Structure 1
Amino acid sequence: MTVIPFIWMLISSFATNSEIVKIGGSFFPTPTTFENYIVIQEKFNFMRMFGNSLFVALTLTVIVIYTSALIGFLFAKFSFKGKNLLFGLVLSTMMLPWAVTIIPKYEMMVNFGWLDSYKSLIIPSMVSAFGIFLFKQSISQIPNELIEAARMDGATDTYIFHKIVLPMSRNTIASLAIFQFLWSWEDFLWPFLMINSDEKQLISVGLRLFNGQYGTDYGGLFAATSISIIPVIIVYMIFQKQFISGVASGSIK
């Protein structure tokens, strides 16, 4: 039931608008045409926006994975005053509806002069409470004896984090990579508020250009959307083995 609308969208991306909106039309519209894929670059700068989205999503995913792993390591394997309180505060940020923070964040971006800049898209999202929680729970499963043995051999905390903790957190990295890339790629409202120039705009916002004043180019919209979901599928295919094995190992424990 979930996949059927995507299959219909993919099939309809090869149909004309008249066939798509036709009442009582077939699930397999005819005639088939590749015109929708050919003209999407003419309708707007599709490849530029596609590249912008890819850059922002990949950058955010890499940064969030690293910061989440680092902070999760601190919470899992270090003892310091107020650790539980601080971790509770981090978790409490997950309880706030995202819409509540839009106006304060917007005012901050205006005051910083970051409007129409990728700084406004990347910097406020560099740290993820969900990612910190995910890594904290995962790294807590690593035996303390392993960490202490490395320290006795002269390993620094930096070495332990990069050479022991990160390699043993592959499943968690894969899980967060899938979620974070998907969230960044499909985000619409925040890029819509922050980015004003067409050359910096993201594909999620650019797709709305198919909605005209008097109608919608459904064929072009479906073609552009079909192409735009390819990176998400690729990311999942790359990390799916670690993601599934992480879920399986957690259920076995």
Structure 2
Amino acid sequence: MRSKRKTNIIVYSISYTLLIAFSIIMIMPFVWMILSTFKDQSELMRFPPKFLPDKFSLKNYVEVFSSVPFLRYYLNSILITTVAVTLTLLTSSLAGFAFAKYKFRGRNVIFKTLLGAMMIPFPVTIIPLYIMIYNLGLVDTYLALIVTGSVSIFGIFLMRQFIVTIPDDLIDAARIDRCSEFQIFRIIVIPNIRAPLSALAIFSFMGTWNAFLWPLLVVNNDEHRTVQLGVQYFTQRYGDLMHLQITAAAMAVIPIVVLYLLLQKQFIEGITMTGLKG
């Protein structure tokens, strides 16, 4: 018994040591990037490189904001991402509820067709999407960036897999109590899918915030330019200023890290439950 316990302690110690080592290796580039935003050009290009800056300064951030309208890009991305994520959560949860708890003709066929559509790469759909947006007169508008990110097939699938586990008796009892279908959705369904909703929110936020190819096609001016386009535009304009490029890139990544830290518990719970309830 003692020998087995000793063996378990050794195995756990080695496992945690390896996990910590790999975690440090994975996070080091990000930490290096953040610290580099406080260095000037000469300090950044110094050899051998120095991990910590000689003096912490926000000069790079001020220069980036003053060089290009980065605040405008941030506001555009925040607006587009917030609306798109909200619509994604709403459409995914409603559609998932319908597929999980309503019986109608062609339900399985429609759901399997949606799953099949998940296999189609996004670049394949770019040309027809652009033609549709152009014919609707939405090119160079916020709607062109929001509409394409307001529905997620993966989100529908994820919500359906969770909602199907909610007991039908609970929903039937609510109907007996004269609750409307929307009340059932709001009072019973939503509280039971908060974890997967949080996970889907992070996935949707990352996808919309980091989108580059589609905004590049439908946006032509600064008024609707997003953060990712702003970073690319900044790189083209100040390609020789490495310290400012790193600062601009860090500014585009920081909101995602902040969101993950705020929803970390729900995100991990949602991912874990997804594996159990597939």
Tell whether the structures are fold-level matches, with TM greater than 0.5: yes
In the other structure, the counterpart of 1:166 is 190
Q: Distance in 2 between matches of 1:110 and 1:128?
A: 22
Does residue 68 in structure 1 map to residue 92 in structure 2?
yes
Q: Contact (CA 8 Å) 1:195, 1:201: kept in 2 or not?
A: yes
The range that moved more, 205-214 or 109-118, is 205-214
Q: Contact (CA 8 Å) 2:141, 2:219: kept in 1 or not?
A: yes
Q: Distance in 1 between matches of 2:175 and 2:55?
A: 69
Q: Contact (CA 8 Å) 1:210, 1:217: kept in 2 or not?
A: no
| CA displacement at 1:127 relative to structure 2 | 1.2
Q: Distance in 1 between matches of 2:168 and 2:108?
A: 19
Over 3 Å counting, the alpha-carbon distance change for 1:31 and 1:166 in structure 2 is: closer
Q: Secondary structure at the match of 2:117?
A: helix
**Alignment match of 1:49 (pick from 66, 73, 80):** 73
CA RMSD of aligned residues (A): 1.9
In the other structure, the counterpart of 2:104 is 80
| CA displacement at 1:228 relative to structure 2 | 2.7
Q: Contact (CA 8 Å) 1:210, 1:218: kept in 2 or not?
A: no
| CA displacement at 1:249 relative to structure 2 | 4.5
Over 3 Å counting, the alpha-carbon distance change for 1:111 and 1:152 in structure 2 is: same
Does residue 192 in structure 1 map to residue 216 in structure 2?
yes
Give the share of equivalent positions with the same residue, in percent.
Answer: 38
Deviations, residues 137-188 of structure 1 (Å, cap 9, x unaligned): 0000100110111111111111111111111111111110111011111111
Unpaired runs of 5+ residues, structure 1, are none
Over 3 Å counting, the alpha-carbon distance change for 1:75 and 1:212 in structure 2 is: closer
| CA displacement at 1:220 relative to structure 2 | 1.5
Q: Distance in 2 between matches of 1:213 and 1:49?
A: 16
In the other structure, the counterpart of 1:93 is 117
In the other structure, the counterpart of 1:128 is 152
In the other structure, the counterpart of 2:168 is 144
The structure having more radius of gyration, on CA atoms, is: 2
In the other structure, the counterpart of 1:9 is 33
Q: 1:18 corresponds to which letter in structure 2?
A: S
Q: Secondary structure at the match of 1:113?
A: coil
User: What is the TM-score normalised by the length of structure 2?
Assistant: 0.85
Q: Contact (CA 8 Å) 2:77, 2:226: kept in 1 or not?
A: yes
| CA displacement at 1:78 relative to structure 2 | 0.5
Q: Distance in 2 between matches of 1:114 and 1:214?
A: 31
Q: 1:194 corresponds to which letter in structure 2?
A: V
Q: Distance in 1 between matches of 2:274 and 2:234?
A: 44
Does residue 220 in structure 1 map to residue 244 in structure 2?
yes
Q: How many residues align?
A: 253
| CA displacement at 1:25 relative to structure 2 | 2.7
Unpaired runs of 5+ residues, structure 2, are 1-24
Q: Distance in 2 between matches of 1:32 and 1:218?
A: 17
The range that moved more, 113-122 or 67-76, is 113-122
Deviations, residues 64-92 of structure 1 (Å, cap 9, x unaligned): 00100000000000111111110011111
Q: Distance in 1 between matches of 2:230 and 2:237?
A: 16
Q: Distance in 2 between matches of 1:17 and 1:217?
A: 7
Q: Distance in 2 between matches of 1:251 and 1:207?
A: 36
Q: 2:241 corresponds to which letter in structure 1?
A: D
| CA displacement at 1:250 relative to structure 2 | 5.3
| CA displacement at 1:61 relative to structure 2 | 0.6
